[in-house]
Structure 1
Amino acid sequence: MKFINKNLAHLALSVGLALTATCLHVQAADHSQVWIGTWGAAQQIPEPQNALPSKDLDDATVRQIFHVSVAGQKLRVRISNAFGNARLHVTAAHIARPVAADSPAIDPASDRALSFAGAADVVIPAGADYLSDPIDYPVGALSNLAVTFHLDKAPEVETGHPGSRATSYVVHGNQVAAASFATPEKVEHWYQVAEVDVEGANDAGSIVTLGDSITDGHASTPNGNDRWPDVLAKRLQATSATRMIGVVNKGIGGNHLLSDGLGPNALARFDRDVLAPSGVHWLIVLEGVNDLGGLTINGDVPAAKHADLEHQIIAAYQQIIDRAHARGLRVIGGTITPFVGSDFYHPGAQTEADRQAINAWIRKPGHFDAVIDFDATVRDPHQPDRLLPAYDCGDHLHPSPAGYKAMGETIPLSLFTR
């Protein structure tokens, strides 16, 4: 009996070692490729002037053009119902290569249907996102991708990204495979699509840029893809050491650190917009100008309120740093750019002093893992509380395309070496 038990023990050990080796082999295979975000947009409830009327989305096809960052041989699309209050039925979704960034026409030979758990349609619960099944579909770096979907019924509450700086096209009926649309409704917004992922090697990763309208690209060129994160993506692709890194833009126009503005505040949307995108290794934070400007938008306030705002902004930064570090992300702080002369905020001397104090904290070692001095890049050296005229779009708050180019080019690519 002891002999039999001994043999059984040896057999069990051999089987256990074999299973362990198999598991290790499977794990190695699973980790040889990773999903990374090649494009993304922060989701919110579109403001009334940016939402589509329900009649426009009843039995409607929506075609949207996305400018991806990093290349891949497989892709998947994340469709979002994050702010919906009821289930969203997407009856069909397709991908294709558009003929141009500003056209609804696609190359019909490139058109492919997406599936969801093997089905052509998907019902997405309220408050949820849904990933399409992976599909073999080569995507070139810095190329454009058309994502087209059909809804049988308009959502009562839309989920989208108003600040697309790109044209989307809406027609009635199920026309997801149409080569073009004859007379589409054109809107400068995106709806219901949060992210496009590609499969990359295990040393690949993505950068999330968390910010407000300056990150979202207010005053950039429509359909031109010249926001500062676009400039960064182009530079990453020009260097072999960083060619496997994607950029996911999570800027929202009018966004705040501390309160809901246009879209949820940065702390409220942190998990969805920073931690949820695929393959994130780095986070760039450029937030706070709307908090600073909003304090005195209706008139001067006591000095104590300025001091309290500085404290709260810095505490919010620390929250972002701590939460990102807990997930292993490297966090890079961007200094707040000047906005004296703003036609919207009309900041005074104390608001400028607040900006200087916060930027000093950002620059101080021991807070962020690294710093990008956007302030130094775009300020007028003769009037450092203002944007350089060549970098000013004209409202003295948002950079021009030339300003965004300078911002994207000031970022050291060495920050993203692994």
Structure 2
Amino acid sequence: MRAIGLAVMLAMMPGSAWAQTCAWQPAWASAQMVPGGDNRLAPGALDDASLRQVARMSTGGKRVRVRISNAFGTKPLEVRGASIARPVRNDGHAVTPDSLVPLRFAGQPGTRVPAGADWLSDPVAMPVAAFDDLAVTLHVAGEPGEQTSHPGSRATSWLAKGDATRAATLTGAQPTEHWFLLSGIEVEACPARGAVVVLGDSITDGRGSTTNGNDRWTDVLARRLQADPRTRGMSVLNQGIGGNNILVDGLGPNAIARLDRDVLALPRVTDLIVLEGVNDLGGLSRTEGATQADYQALVGRLTAAFSQIIERAQARGIRIHGATVMPFGASEYYHATPDAEAARRAINDWIRTPGRFDSVIDMDRATADPARPDRLDKRYDEGDGLHTSPAGFRRMAEEVDLTALVADRTPAP
């Protein structure tokens, strides 16, 4: 008992060796779904093919490991080989030859990822810093029944036939503006400072940002965290999916269904930011004959869902921050009727009520037109009345109070 008490005291001492222990924490992540329409690879495209995909780290560490996803596959994914390297440019397929390192899986060059599962590579020694780009190349045998993807990558990936895991450049590679089969990259950080996960829809996914520009609001937030000594070393993980809903499946699984895989299953998560709800409201606004009672019922279901997310996150020792739903009054796709706008305000009032979220990020007030608060400020509007521009993303990132991310709470092990 005396030894246990000493261990507890050491764990509580911020300057102790215990607190400085190295640990794995995610440095980059993407939420997975089944791609549809033009977002899919053509039939047979993955047969004996290599995918080279570039990701930007939001924090650094001494060693690296990669998480491969077959979350929506209906049969095992056969990975014949894999490698990681530093790209010459983040929008190209060339990598610096001396940086290219093969990845192993339990000491073997390949692995079989079961249907519905993710799989971690063995660690490799590759010191990386915050905002380094890494290129991951996967050589796969073929499509595992169904594709697992993140369509809204806003980044260029490359597809080539054969084994290109050791190639500095890819002969005959075809570009694709999506990620496939790659759900995360983790770093061994000393000490591990924790991770901020953002659960969201297209506004978080980056609709309105620049392809390969890394100027989503989560990218700007990551730069703020690294510039502040209080939060330096914390990572920011963008788990946004364009078209995502809280309550029903749309583009990708609903937010409640994907909470475990996209948030709770990740190591060293200290904070969760939730920015969802506009698609649930907008979907009802497109329903002919929607009544005031329908909107009131939706408000009740959405706030109950927020309560579920709060309970499940806090049970893991994760701080949870509620972001208010941004205005969409100028959108032609969604219809901000008086009932829809009243429902949005009711949800935001619920989010702002003390005692629910650990903190509130008022994205509504930050981006709304002061003269017409049911609409986005034109300075931040991407042009469709719903999504923000890079200037809007900067304003959103500025709204996050960094002091809320350094409150005393032990991250989930």
> Above 0.5 in TM-score?
yes
Residue 65 of structure 2 corresponds to residue 82 of structure 1: no
Which has more helix, going by share of residues?
A: 1
Q: Deviations over 1:211-260 (max 9, x none)?
A: 00011011110000011110000111112221110011100000000000
2:327 partner letter: P
Structure 1 residue runs of 4 or more that deviate by more than 6 Å after TM superposition: 28-31
Let me know the Cα RMSD of the aligned residues: 2.1
Note the C-alpha offset of 1:127.
0.7
Note the C-alpha offset of 1:30.
11
2:308 partner letter: Q
Larger radius of gyration: 1
In structure 2, relative to structure 1, the CA distance for the partners of 1:126 and 1:307 (3 Å cut) is same
* SS of residue paired to 1:384: coil
Corresponding residue for residue 156 of structure 1: 145
Contact 2:192 2:268 in 1 (8 A): no
Q: Deviations over 1:64-92 (max 9, x none)?
A: 01011001111110001111110101101
* SS of residue paired to 1:178: coil
Corresponding residue for residue 217 of structure 1: 206
How far apart, CA to CA, are the structure 2 residues paired with 1:279 and 1:21? 23
Note the C-alpha offset of 1:21.
10
1:126 partner letter: A
Mapping for residues 300-315 of structure 1, pairs under 5 Å: 300-315=289-304
Contact 2:61 2:190 in 1 (8 A): no
Residue 280 of structure 2 corresponds to residue 291 of structure 1: yes
Corresponding residue for residue 412 of structure 1: 401
How far apart, CA to CA, are the structure 1 residues paired with 2:320 and 2:142? 41
Residue 305 of structure 2 corresponds to residue 316 of structure 1: yes
Corresponding residue for residue 316 of structure 2: 327
Note the C-alpha offset of 1:375.
0.7
Note the C-alpha offset of 1:101.
1.3
Note the C-alpha offset of 1:136.
1.0
Structure 2 spans left out of the alignment, 5+ residues? 11-16, 409-413
* SS of residue paired to 1:145: strand
How far apart, CA to CA, are the structure 1 residues paired with 2:358 and 2:178? 34
How far apart, CA to CA, are the structure 2 residues paired with 1:55 and 1:379? 46
Corresponding residue for residue 118 of structure 2: 129
* SS of residue paired to 2:340: helix
How far apart, CA to CA, are the structure 2 residues paired with 1:343 and 1:104? 38
Residue 172 of structure 2 corresponds to residue 186 of structure 1: no
Structure 1 spans left out of the alignment, 5+ residues? 1-15
Mapping for residues 4-403 of structure 1, pairs under 5 Å: 32-403=21-392
How far apart, CA to CA, are the structure 1 residues paired with 2:397 and 2:294? 34
* SS of residue paired to 1:137: strand
How far apart, CA to CA, are the structure 2 residues paired with 1:366 and 1:29? 32
Note the C-alpha offset of 1:344.
1.1
Identity %: 50
Note the C-alpha offset of 1:156.
1.7
How far apart, CA to CA, are the structure 2 residues paired with 1:351 and 1:52? 37
Note the C-alpha offset of 1:203.
4.9
* SS of residue paired to 1:406: helix
How far apart, CA to CA, are the structure 1 residues paired with 2:324 and 2:152? 22
Q: Deviations over 1:297-339 (max 9, x none)?
A: 1324121111100000000000000010111100000000000
2:358 partner letter: D
1:414 partner letter: T
How far apart, CA to CA, are the structure 2 residues paired with 1:292 and 1:331? 22
How far apart, CA to CA, are the structure 2 residues paired with 1:275 and 1:31? 23
In structure 2, relative to structure 1, the CA distance for the partners of 1:267 and 1:17 (3 Å cut) is closer
How far apart, CA to CA, are the structure 2 residues paired with 1:168 and 1:220? 17
Note the C-alpha offset of 1:415.
1.4
Contact 2:25 2:192 in 1 (8 A): no
* SS of residue paired to 1:389: coil
Q: Deviations over 1:126-167 (max 9, x none)?
A: 111100111111111111110001012222201110010000
Number of aligned pairs?
400
How far apart, CA to CA, are the structure 2 residues paired with 1:188 and 1:343? 26
1:295 partner letter: L
Contact 2:322 2:361 in 1 (8 A): yes
How far apart, CA to CA, are the structure 1 residues paired with 2:115 and 2:20? 32
How far apart, CA to CA, are the structure 2 residues paired with 1:145 and 1:356? 42
How far apart, CA to CA, are the structure 2 residues paired with 1:31 and 1:119? 32
How far apart, CA to CA, are the structure 1 residues paired with 2:306 and 2:245? 12
* SS of residue paired to 1:414: helix
Contact 1:34 1:204 in 2 (8 A): no
Corresponding residue for residue 7 of structure 1: none
